[in-house]
A and B are shown apart, each in its own frame.
Chain A
Amino acid sequence: MSWPHRHELETTTLLSRSQGDESARTLAGWVGTGGYERLRQAASMEPEAVTEIVKDSGLRGRGGAGFPTGLKWSFMPKDDGKPHYLCCNADESEPGAFKDREILRWTPHLLVEGCLIAAKAIRAEHVYIYVRGEFFPYTKILNAAVTEAYEGGYIGNDIMGTGWSCELTVHTGAGAYIAGEETGLMNSLMGNRAEPWMKPPFPAQAGAFGMPTTVNNVETIATVPGILEHGADWYRQWGTEKSPGTKLWCCSGHLAKPGNYELELGISLKDIIFDVCGGTPDGKKVKAVIPGGSSTAFLTGDELDCATCYEGMAEAGSSLGTASPIVMDEDTDIVVAMRRIAQFYAHESCGQCVQCREGTEWVVKILQRIEAGDGKLSDLDTLYELCEQMTGRTICVLADSVVFPLRSSMDKFRGEYEAKMRPSAVAVGG
């Protein structure tokens, strides 16, 4: 059962089983459904064994980049004598994404359990759950669950009598998108500005407080208990070879039934939009979809027959991202939509790298001028040039995040841009 709708294509409820069930938020309710048994199992296992199962399952990071989780865990040094940390990234703020929020809201104990299992795998002695600053109600729910879990002996000293100890702290951010970038998150956690740092050093070498650290997304971590309980092969029954398992989809925009759905990876995007979500509310044509959150490339209404897995979306010229399609019907003004997206990134740029600090705002100003009817054709050349200079030039990928939708919107909807140009500009060709 996902939230608030459900659909027959949701073949499993690995992540979403208890969404909508308020009793699962309490420790008693969670333990009653078999909760924390996977933690007991992990607590007695060797860290490598836990990592191995997750590696075999093929689970890929759900924060957007899709990096194999087990492989990431295996980067953590062994016998280095240093404290290790796990940071659970709950700074979900990609426009379009609202999956981690639902996990925090309905199944906080699933997250706590997953965190501790992951902590076991990477030999972490302390787990930090970094929650987005605006998530007040969900932080409250999570804090209540953590308190209960501490009291119940599921976190802290001698977890479940196994002799293994691990602490867990919930840390709230101050509401910055860039704190969701892993190095920005760790800087923020340490009390610094949430500014990404240049890698190396990689988190597994010197992360939070200078110690080996792994940063995992909420959904990734919430998937782990199920994998541990049922095994890697069980998990691989869903999805594709390269993208196994299921994924929470955050469907928004012009849809009849927007919401959260847990779907097998690899099914057609068209099915998700038209079957699962019931198409547009009034049957209008779909003009465009941003499939993976606002930082992914636009697909047109004719490009929706693509497989919703990491490799399938890449093949379609976009990316899976956070699996958060924003659907735009035929009445949508692409230039306005793009301007609004660019404004978000200009507002959220940390301001370290000049390409991002000045580039994002410059893009906004150009788009605003085009929107106001004062554009000229050469503006598009400038925008393409900016796209080139804002890609792969900066510490993190925030600048690239504007480029994906911007370049694709100009490639695929150039007519919409041209229609807004100053009439004379079009007539004289520039």
Chain B
Amino acid sequence: MSDLDGGGLDTVTLTIDGVEVTVPKGTRVIEAAERTGVVVPRYCYHPGIPTRPAQCRMCLVEIEGQPKLQPSCVLEAQDGMSILTASETAEKARQSVIEFLLVNHPLDCPICDAAGQCMLQDYAYVTTQLKSRVDEPKTVMGRDRIADDILYFADRCIICTRCVRFMRDVAEDDSLVVAQRGHKAYIDTFPGRDLDNPFQGNIVDVCPVGALVHEDFVFKARAWDMDATAGICPGCSTGCNVTIDTKENQIVRLKPRHNAEVNSYWMCDHGRKHLVMSNRGIRAEVPMIRDGDSLRATDWPTAIAWIAARIRQAGSNGGLGIASPNSSNENLFYFSRLLSRLGIDRWEYSVPQGSTASLPTVPRLELRADRAANGKGGELFGGTRVDAEAVPSPARAGETIVVLEDGLAEAPDGFGSEAGFFLYVGSRLPDAAREADAVLPIATFAEMDGTFTNFEGRVQRFHRALQAPGIARPAWMVLARVLAALDDLEPVSDVGAALDAMASATAAFAGMSWQGLGLKGALVGGDAAAVGAAPAEIDG
């Protein structure tokens, strides 16, 4: 965001709480204040929503020498202005806003899903209003289902209209409105219309209180019982930056994480729901090796040594690799290395397809047809993309098959029965993999650190949100072990080292490092070092 430094632009210099700051002309005071480290309390203002009605009156600040407080979200920074964000008058006004908001608020924090992450709760605490002056009975409005999967608790709503304005001004969908007026106002769908938009889940994220809640999350987890991890949504090839909220080693929800280069502040509903499904199913938890007609569980050293011995024995008879486009770059890198070590020159990946949806005002953000996180990685590591419904041909006698994470859903009966050696590396054990000579259990993307390359070649980091079951390990680590055992190399046990190895061996990733990628990522073939030097942004 070097344009904020004003090189060559018209700038203004003002003072905010005694700190001088220079910002481009046209900057609003609320944003200028953030540059000095002051976060002016706000409700209706949201950096990703273009309209600013200045209606919550929370961000009122004092312009020194002027009696009337001004909303800093629309107040334009002017040369020589002196802003007091926390003067006595401003603090008192803010305190009264909280008092007014609590007049009819049900104070149901103990059962509210926003408790602990609620801007009303936070500011009520900050303004130290522990006792109410209100003697009057509260207005009770109840709750409503505002969309198939979203509940609206009208009593908690503070009518900041972020949700209405997200739908109207960001998603360009006017089916959400403020109904009634004054103290009877509430959020509803326009009469005769349903809220049915592929991006509607964002209204829950922008809600500063607990008024809008996803039904599949309601009463599921308290904010303080969850761990938040920076991840990348694997729902399609866009690579939206997300926060993965987990509780008791289960993913409970995904929330978008700001990245101006990818998804801005938003994500689609497909992605949001997609990953929660990954909690389901039975996992492969220990390495297994062929023992006659069955697979026998064993430990890692035994499995690796056994596989190395089998490979040496089988020799290079050619064969085929199949990998999942949801595998990380590091996984694909070591996978492709193993294949070349085995003399296999062709490997395939297929990308499931789905319908597309775009957010009109954020053209970069799209639910793309490629429903996998790393199809681009498959391409960069030399895979051959095949049709999503393509049926892999059964292995020819004696050849070697290595499968990485692919579910083999389309594999025909007897897919691997003729193979000379069949290695299955996956987090689950599909039927077709039961014919494998060895099964190595690996972590899913949520259970490990790594990177994906999105549709436009942006390499982005994701982090481990969950513990892998049993003794499953990341595929890159497992495959590097196999390679090490074959050629007496040093094993790799750190994702940074894996990425370094990948970056030095693959031109597209040259110059990239785990630290350098940071949380914003870098484009393949770009000036990775320069991106790495950019200061980290504060997420909104």
Which chain A residues have a beta carbon within 8 Å of chain B's beta carbons? 176, 178, 193, 195, 197-198, 346-362, 365-366, 369, 379, 382, 385, 389, 392-395
In the bound complex, how far is the Cα of B71 from the Cα of A389, in angstroms?
A: 15
**Which residue in B52, B55, B104 is a CB contact (below 8 Å) of A358?**
B104
Residue of B54, B93, B104 touching A389 (CB-CB under 8 A): B93
Distance between Cα atoms of A72 and B118 in the complex (Å): 45
Number of B residues contacting the other chain (C-beta, 8 Å)? 35
In angstroms, how far is the closest chain A Cβ from the Cβ of B30?
Answer: 13
Residues of B within 8 A of A365 (CB): 136-137
Q: B100, A358: Cβ atoms under 8 Å?
A: yes
Are A357 and B69 in contact, CB atoms less than 8 angstroms apart?
no
Complex: A98 Cα to B71 Cα, angstroms: 35
B135 at the A/B interface (Cβ < 8 Å)? Answer: yes
Contact for A393 among B57, B133, B184, CB less than 8 A = B57
Are B53 and A362 in touch, CB under 8 angstroms? no
| Chain B positions within 8 Å of A379 at CB level | 135
Q: Which residues of B come within 8 Å of A, CB atoms?
A: 52-57, 60, 67-69, 71, 74, 92-93, 96-97, 100-101, 103-104, 133-137, 139, 158-159, 178, 180-185
A355–B183 CA distance with the chains assembled, in angstroms: 10
Assess whether A198 is in contact with B96, with CB atoms less than 8 Å apart. no
Closest residue of chain A to B96, judged by CB? A389
Q: Would B158 and A354 count as touching, CB distance under 8 A?
A: yes
For B183, give its contact among A193, A195, A346, A366 (CB under 8 Å). A346
Which residues of chain B have C-beta atoms less than 8 A from A353's C-beta? 55-57
Are the CB atoms of A357 and B159 closer together than 8 Å? yes
Instruction: Out of A193, A348, A355, A394, name the residue touching B178 (CB < 8 Å).
Output: A193
Q: Are B183 and A358 in contact (CB under 8 A)?
A: yes
In the bound complex, do residue A392 and residue B68 qualify as a contact, i.e. CB atoms below 8 Å apart?
A: yes
Find chain A residues with CB under 8 A from B67 CB: 392
Contact among B74, B93, B97 for A198, CB-based, below 8 A = B74
What is the CB-to-nearest-CB distance from B198 to chain A, in angstroms, rounded to a whole number? 26
Shortest Cβ gap from A383 to chain B (Å): 11
A167 to chain B, nearest CB (A): 28
Find A369's partner among B68, B101, B135 (CB 8 Å cutoff): B135
Counting chain A CB atoms within 10 Å of each CB, which of B55, B134, B158 scores highest? B55
Determine if B133 and A394 form an interchain contact, defined as CB atoms under 8 angstroms apart.
Answer: no
| A-side contacts of B60, CB under 8 Å | 393
Q: List 5 extra interface pairs beyond A357-B183, A366-B136, CB under 8 A.
A: A346-B183, A354-B158, A362-B103, A389-B100, A393-B57
Docked complex Cα distance between A176 and B181 (Å): 10
Give A351 to B185 CA distance when docked, in angstroms. 6
Distance of A389 Cα from B96 Cα, bound (Å): 7
Q: Which residues of B contact A195 (CB under 8 A)?
A: 53
Residues from chain B with a CB closer than 8 A to the CB of A355 are: 57, 96-97, 100
User: How far apart are the CA atoms of A198 and B136 in the complex, in Å?
Assistant: 31
Give Cα A178–Cα B183 distance, bound, in whole angstroms. 14
Report A-chain residues with C-beta under 8 Å of the C-beta of B53: 195, 197-198, 352, 395
Q: How far is the CA of A395 from the CA of B53 in the complex (A)?
A: 9
Q: Please tell me if the beta carbons of A359 and B100 are within 8 angstroms of each other in the complex.
A: yes
Decide if A351 touches B100 in the complex (CB within 8 Å).
no
Q: Is B182 a contact of A198 with CB atoms below 8 Å?
A: no
A362 adjacent to B182 (CB under 8 Å): no
A354→B185 contact, CB < 8 A: no
List, in ascending order, chain A residues with CB within 8 A of B134's CB: 362
State how many angstroms separate the Cβ of A65 from the closest Cβ of chain B: 16
Residue of A nearest to B52 (CB): A198
Q: Which of B104, B134, B158, B182 has the most CB of A within 10 A?
A: B182
Q: Which residues of B contact A361 (CB under 8 A)?
A: 103-104, 139, 182-183
